[in-house]
Structure 1
Amino acid sequence: MKVTWTYDRGDHRDNHEVDLTDSDALEALLCEIHQAGEPVVVTIVSDITDDPDDLPPGLQIGLGHPTHAFAVHIADDGGYLSDPTVQPPDQGLHFDFGGVPTEYPAKHLRLRPDMATQIARTFLKTGGRPPNVAAAND
């Protein structure tokens, strides 16, 4: 699967893209991204389209904030995943999405970073099956 993320560096965008098929390698990469401490959106897709405005089915996760993360399944029947035991932050948080600082509402930030990483790992391991929080706990 293709994994992409981009940071806004003021005078340029710092684009990253890798192809991964191993869930251990994905987990290591996501842990490294999170530990950098720069909130960013990581997109994981299996098929890339020719139209840059057409996002193929996949998963996006927000990492880099110390305590909160998000995961959204990109599909016709997709949506944000949440863990009801995680309290949302007091306000929305900004994550760098495609090099653009983007605020995500607190109601979508009901995951811990390690859970978002496990959701992504499970998504890759299952070949892109719709993710859920319970499966990531297994």
Structure 2
Amino acid sequence: MKVTWTYDRGDHRDNHETDVTEPATLEAVLSEIHEAGEPVVVTIFSDLADDPDDLPSGLQVGLGHPTHAFAVHIADDGGYLHDRSVDAPTQGIRFDFGGVPTEYPVEHLCLNPETAIKVAGTFLATGGDPPHVPAASE
């Protein structure tokens, strides 16, 4: 699957793209992105959409904030994942999305970063099956 993310650097956009086939490799890449401490949206997808203005089906994860993250399944029946054990932050968090700082509301930020990374690894391992928040025993 293809993995892309972009940071706004003021005078330019810092674009990143890589191909990954192993869940452990994806989780390592996402961990590095998260540890950089710059909130950013990472898009994971297998096929480009027919229309370049449409998002391809896949998964987006918001990483880089110390305590909160998000994962959203990009599909006709997709949506944001929520972990009931994670309290939403007190205010929205701004993530770089394609080089554009974008505010994400508190209701979408109900994952911790470790869970978002695990969700992405599982998404790759299953070949793009609809993601879910893992049970405590997974």
TM-score bracket, normalised by the shorter chain, equals over 0.9
Aligned-residue CA RMSD (Å)? 1.3
What 5-or-longer segments of structure 1 have no aligned partner? Answer: none
Counterpart in 1 of 2:120? 120
**How big is each residue's C-alpha offset from its partner over 1:15-41, in whole Å with a ceiling of 9 and x where there is no partner?**
000010011110110000000000000
Cα gap change, 1:106 to 1:119, in 2 (>3 Å)? same
Q: What is the CA–CA distance in structure 1 between the aligned matches of 2:83 and 2:125, rounded to whole Å?
A: 21
Q: What is the CA–CA distance in structure 1 between the aligned matches of 2:129 and 2:85, rounded to whole Å?
A: 24
State the AA in 2 paired with 1:79: G
| Displacement of 1:137 | 5.8
| Displacement of 1:56 | 1.2
Q: Secondary structure at the match of 2:71?
A: strand
Aligned positions of 1:1-138 closer than 5 A: 1-49=1-49, 51-134=51-134, 138=138
Q: Percent identity?
A: 72
Q: What is the CA–CA distance in structure 1 between the aligned matches of 2:54 and 2:61, rounded to whole Å?
A: 18
**How big is each residue's C-alpha offset from its partner over 1:51-103, in whole Å with a ceiling of 9 and x where there is no partner?**
33111110000000000000000000000001011000001000000000000
The number of equivalent residue pairs is: 138
Q: Which runs of 4+ in 1 moved over 3 A?
A: none
Cα pair 1:5 1:41 within 8 Å, conserved:
yes
What 5-or-longer segments of structure 2 have no aligned partner? Answer: none
Q: What is the CA–CA distance in structure 2 between the aligned matches of 1:13 and 1:137, rounded to whole Å?
A: 40
Q: What is the CA–CA distance in structure 1 between the aligned matches of 2:64 and 2:51, rounded to whole Å?
A: 28
